[in-house]
A = this chain, B = another copy of it.
């Protein structure tokens, strides 16, 4: 079918069966929905946007796509960092962002059922009055949707103690490539009837089906943590303190690191009073699983390990406002990076490599080498307790040579990550950005299983093509 005929079919055939207003063909609106927050990923060629209001809208879209073999790109809040939600040529964008309802909270079973478009923080807010929490807290917590979190198996700061999205998914309703609606998993605490397809769909980045409803396990309201901050001359000493703390059996509820470059960029953006003469800072919290005394013991253990690893300074905070300000400063890092980039050529590329914790010092050495070799500024924050690092590369986006250097540095970081026993992505996902690297991380058997599963569930290859599976 010619593109113009296809657009005509979209308007008449698909438009006729969708909810009022769900189909958008205005090129400006389609264009503005054609990308997530990743750099360097193509985003051209979307034919139309479906803003699903109902599960039926999603089913009709997939039925249409199957009939006409049209690629479909499922989208949440488009806050992803790997291009997973970007348009591909000739595609339908299928946005779930208007499906934002909380469908039910079961306080006895400690579950909540939501539509996928609900923003993570909005869900957290809705749970407060029930005395329940949904822990996963990606950096994008205020702007990313639960459906997107499920699609990427999102992590966050709490993971070191509370795990990632997959640890909370009880049941999913999924629309398959042919439009079939199915329920996978159980709402009960346990269940082993058949294959655990939850694990397969969580993190599948819209390549196997479209998640239209999510039942999440919840936990009682997370306790107030105690907070400690330690500064070091460099990241290696900070990383050694992290390794010591984690080896000791402590269970921090947050354990983040920032290098000196990050500290200075944050203070330059907004004076958060961080000690930006330090080479590195660790931010640690313990909630003691509700017991202040346990929290105190763990925070003191952290201080001892920090001091044993030549910390410059260690301070505690028992004031919740103070603690919140420190976490807020950490959460400002990405904004501060963008602010810095604006006045330094515009380019910032954020990576996401997760390593065994004891390899972190070596990893940081290698980052220094990459910075020296390329002459580029690198800054790095990390969910240090999980070994999940986020190096950022700054470059002049108007200088093709600088762009090439940044691109090479980005690749080098993943290469080093693999070399040190890590993975190319701890939480951002593969998307378009890392599709070629996925093929390098997975062995041939795993690639074979990936291809087989993809062909089995999406035989026409219409679900988010050109991304995770492009190079497998």
Q: How distant is the Cα of A422 from the Cα of B153 in the complex, in angstroms?
A: 26
Q: Is the pair A203, B192 in contact by a Cβ cutoff of 8 Å?
A: yes
Residue of B nearest to A198 (CB): B199
Cα separation A355 to B106 with both chains bound (whole Å): 14
Contacts of A166 in B (CB 8 A): 196, 199
**Which residues on B sit within 8 Å (CB–CB) of A184?**
446, 449
Q: State which of B107, B176, B183, B356 has its C-beta within 8 Å of the C-beta of A187.
A: B356
Q: Does A438 lie at the interface of the complex (its beta carbon under 8 Å from any beta carbon of B)?
A: yes
A247–B107 CB distance below 8 A:
yes
Q: Tell me which of B108, B182, B388, B437 contacts A243 (CB under 8 A).
A: B108
Interface residues of A in 101-138 (CB under 8 A from B): 106-110, 131-132
CA of A246 to CA of B108 in the docked complex: distance in angstroms?
Answer: 6
Contacts of A387 in B (CB 8 A): 188-190
Q: How far is the CA of A250 from the CA of B220 in the complex (A)?
A: 8
State whether A192 and B388 are in contact (beta carbons under 8 Å apart), knowing that A200-B199, A453-B456 are contacts in the complex: no
Contact mask for chain A residues 155-170; partner B; CB cutoff 8 A; 1 contact, 0 none: 1000110011011000
* Interface pair A108/B180, CB less than 8 Å apart: no
**Docked CA distance A455–B195 (Å):** 13
A180 contact from B192, B426, B448, Cβ within 8 A:
B448
Most central of A200, A220, A427, A450 by chain B CB within 10 Å = A200
The answer to the question of A221 belonging to the interface, with a C-beta cut-off of 8 Å to chain B, is: yes
Q: Output the nearest chain B residue to A109 by Cβ-Cβ distance.
A: B356
Residue A362 interfacial (CB < 8 Å) = no
Asked whether A191 is an interface residue with its Cβ less than 8 Å from the other chain, the reply is: yes
Q: How many copies does the complex hold?
A: 2
Known: A186-B354, A188-B426, A356-B187. A446 touches B194 (CB 8 A): yes
CA distance in complex: A162, B284 (Å): 24
**Looking at the complex, which one of B109, B208, B445 makes contact with A357 (CB distance below 8 Å)?**
B109
Interface size on A, residues (CB 8 A): 95
User: Which of A195, A220, A355, A423 is most buried by chain B, counting CB atoms within 10 A of its CB?
Assistant: A195
Partner of A354, one of B188, B247, B249: B188
A131 to B247, CA, bound (A): 10
Contacts of A243 in B (CB 8 A): 108
User: B176, B193, B294, B428: which contacts A289 (Cβ < 8 A)?
Assistant: B294
- In the bound complex, residues from chain B placing their C-beta under 8 Å from that of A291 are 288-291, 293-294
Write the A70-111 contact mask toward B (1 if CB under 8 angstroms, else 0). 000000000000000000000000000000000000111110
Whether, in the assembled complex, A391 has its beta carbon less than 8 Å from a beta carbon of chain B, the answer is: no
B109 A182 Cβ-Cβ under 8 A: no
Query: Distance in Å from the Cβ of A42 to the closest Cβ of chain B?
Result: 21
CB atoms of A200 and B200 under 8 A apart: yes
Shortest distance in angstroms between A353's beta carbon and chain B's nearest beta carbon? 9
Does A197 belong to the interface (CB within 8 Å)? yes
Answer yes or no: A441 CB below 8 A from chain B CBs.
yes
Interfacial chain B residues near A455, Cβ < 8 Å: 456
Flag whether A386 is at the interface (Cβ < 8 A): yes
Q: How far is the CA of A188 from the CA of B421 in the complex (A)?
A: 8
Tell me whether B247 and A197 are in contact (CB under 8 A): no
- Does residue A312 face the partner (Cβ distance < 8 Å to B)? no
Closest residue on chain B to residue A132 by CB atoms? B249
Cβ–Cβ contact B193 & A424, under 8 A = yes
CB distance from A210 to the nearest CB of B (A): 12
Given contacts A176-B449, A246-B110, contact A190 B426 (CB under 8 A): yes
Shortest CB-to-CB span from A344 to chain B, Å, is 30
Closest chain B residue to A131 by CB distance?
Answer: B249
Confirm or deny: A24 has a beta carbon within 8 angstroms of a beta carbon on chain B.
no
Most chain B CB neighbours (cut-off 10 Å) among A163, A186, A192, A421 = A192
What distance in Å separates the Cβ of A195 from its nearest Cβ neighbour in chain B?
6
A-B pairs with the 5 shortest C-beta distances?
A199-B199, A182-B445, A289-B289, A220-B249, A291-B291
Apart from the given pairs A183-B443, A188-B426, A197-B446, 10 other A-B contacts in the complex at a CB distance below 8 Å: A108-B243, A152-B192, A155-B190, A188-B422, A189-B357, A193-B434, A198-B199, A291-B291, A449-B457, A452-B456
